[in-house]
């Protein structure tokens, strides 16, 4: 994939400020949403880069949507954490063009970023934290973001903000939509069943709000056994009965992530929230076959670099910090300009591999902040400027191979989610958009 085939957006390197109204009881300073700049591809001098194929993202969306035909559920794409490291603005734009039903993010700042990028589909802010002062709630309402609530204090604060803006003509008097989150066993966020009565009583008083959604988060949808997930869904059903008995009629009920929507048809409800699957990584081990259909997911990201130095190492010589590796034979060691500050986990030291010329080369020595060394002794003819693939596919003069996010995760003792989101902002993103 050549750079000439790529395009990039300067928006990713821009610092954005969002001004929001504040009342006199709060700080005078308006809400400022400042995002750290990413290396702008058009200006990047480094050869280390991430290439994202937006056609594959759209393909994955269609594959996952096809799994919903029998249930009729809608699909709201989860693109938190900067689109799982792929670049949220460009991913959201591609998904909106492909007619995604909605988008989910974790943070208020993430939602604002997408609205400022021209995203108009519904955006659900799932984290439930909207800043320490009222200006965060004002910004949420101004940008038409749908909040997740689960505590009485949240509901009171949001209702006051909606009322204040309506009284001052900044918005209509229509009730503002919220999604109520139930903790059915994740133990993280959401109202627990024993506290649901108090939260519903608060919502009944909050005439400024409308319970448009009811949601939960599944803890073990990718486990071998689905018993925990089934128990969570049963608890969610009981909570829904309580919510409806209190006079609420949520339009959207949702619980399923990628794993649940593929393995447990009854989890699809009114909408699903796939994240990892949109980027071409299956969240379940190979032996956990989907009960619905096997989607043909395609990885959307390639991370690559180039060899910037090659040297011959004699028997007994050591390389890298701490001299953790010594040559047991005459060796050729190549250096590539990617280190743990870029997302090459330090745990890959002495265990991971990269692709050079279509062949695998083991990482030797300790991965440093900016550089990594690999053993290319067994790869004939390696030279400066040869392409190195850290994640993704490579076809070279000696063959074709691929390194998946799952493989990186296994080497690093981590999970594929972390490997993707760890590709740092100083690695420029190039986008293929055929």
pLDDT tens-digit map of 293-337: 789 999 999 999 999 999 999 999 999 999 999 999 999 999 999
Residues with Cβ within 8 Å of 99's Cβ and at least 6 positions away in sequence, in order, are none
The per-residue pLDDT for 14 is: 36
Tokens 């909207």 belong to 130
CATH 3.20.20.10 domain span(s) along the chain:
54-279
The per-residue pLDDT for 289 is: 60
Using pLDDT thresholds of 50, 70 and 90, give the confidence band for residue 43.
low
The per-residue pLDDT for 3 is: 39
**Do residues 127 and 148 touch, judged by C-beta distance below 8 A?**
yes
- Segment 248-282, tens digit of pLDDT: 999 999 999 999 999 999 999 999 999 999 999 99
Q: Any idea which of 134-143, 236-245, 386-395 has the lowest mean pLDDT? A: 134-143
The per-residue pLDDT for 13 is: 37
The per-residue pLDDT for 130 is: 85
The architecture CATH gives domain 301-432: Beta Barrel (2.40)
Classified by CATH at the fold level, domain 54-279 comes out as TIM Barrel (3.20.20)
**Do residues 325 and 370 touch, judged by C-beta distance below 8 A?**
no
CATH 2.40.37.10 domain span(s) along the chain:
301-432
Q: Which residues are catalytic?
A: 80, 321
Average pLDDT score over residue span 154-169: 92
Judge whether residue 291 has pLDDT over 70: no
Residue 304 pairs in a beta bridge with 49, 389
If you write DSSP's letter for every residue of 68-105 in order, what string do you get?
A: TTTTT-EEEEE-HHHHHTT-HHHHHHHHHHTT-SEEEE
């Amino acid at each position: 994939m050549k750079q000439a085939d790529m395009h990039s957006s300067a928006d990713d390197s821009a610092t954005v400020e969002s001004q929001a109204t504040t009342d006199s009881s709060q700080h005078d300073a308006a809400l400022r949403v400042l995002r750290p700049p990413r290396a702008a591809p058009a200006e990047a001098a480094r050869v280390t880069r991430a290439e994202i194929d937006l056609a594959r993202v759209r393909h994955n969306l269609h594959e996952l949507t096809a799994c919903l035909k029998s249930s009729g559920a809608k699909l709201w794409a989860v693109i938190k954490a900067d689109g799982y490291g792929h670049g949220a603005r460009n991913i959201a734009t591609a998904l909106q063009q492909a007619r995604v039903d909605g988008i989910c993010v974790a943070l208020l700042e993430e939602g604002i970023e997408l609205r400022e990028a021209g995203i108009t589909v519904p955006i659900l802010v799932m984290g439930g934290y909207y800043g320490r002062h009222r200006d965060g709630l004002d910004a949420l309402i101004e940008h038409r973001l749908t909040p997740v609530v689960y505590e009485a204090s949240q509901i009171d604060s949001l209702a006051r903000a909606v009322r204040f803006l309506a009284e001052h003509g900044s918005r209509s008097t229509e009730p503002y939509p919220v999604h109520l989150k139930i903790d059915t066993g994740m133990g993280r966020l959401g109202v627990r069943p024993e506290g649901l009565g108090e939260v519903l009583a608060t919502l009944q008083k909050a005439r400024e709000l409308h319970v448009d959604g009811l949601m939960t988060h599944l803890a073990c949808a990718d486990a071998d056994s689905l018993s925990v997930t089934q128990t969570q869904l049963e608890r969610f059903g009981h909570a829904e009965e309580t919510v409806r008995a209190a006079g609420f009629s949520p339009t959207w009920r949702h619980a399923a992530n990628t794993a649940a929507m593929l393995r447990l048809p009854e989890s699809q409800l009114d909408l699903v929230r796939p994240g990892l699957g949109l980027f071409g990584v299956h969240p379940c081990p190979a032996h956990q076959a989907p009960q619905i259909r096997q989607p043909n997911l395609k990885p959307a990201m390639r991370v690559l670099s180039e060899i910037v130095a090659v040297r011959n190492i004699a028997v007994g010589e050591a390389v890298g910090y701490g001299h953790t590796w010594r040559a047991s034979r005459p060796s050729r060691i190549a250096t590539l300009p990617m280190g743990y500050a870029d997302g090459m986990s330090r745990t890959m030291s002495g265990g991971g591999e990269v692709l050079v010329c279509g062949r695998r080369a083991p990482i030797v020595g300790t991965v440093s902040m900016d550089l990594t060394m690999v053993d290319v002794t067994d790869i004939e003819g390696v030279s400066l400027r040869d392409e190195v693939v850290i994640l993704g596919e490579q076809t070279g003069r000696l063959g074709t191979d691929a390194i998946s996010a799952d493989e990186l995760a296994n080497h690093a003792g981590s999970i594929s989610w972390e490997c993707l989101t760890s590709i740092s902002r100083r690695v420029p993103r190039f986008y293929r958009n055929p």
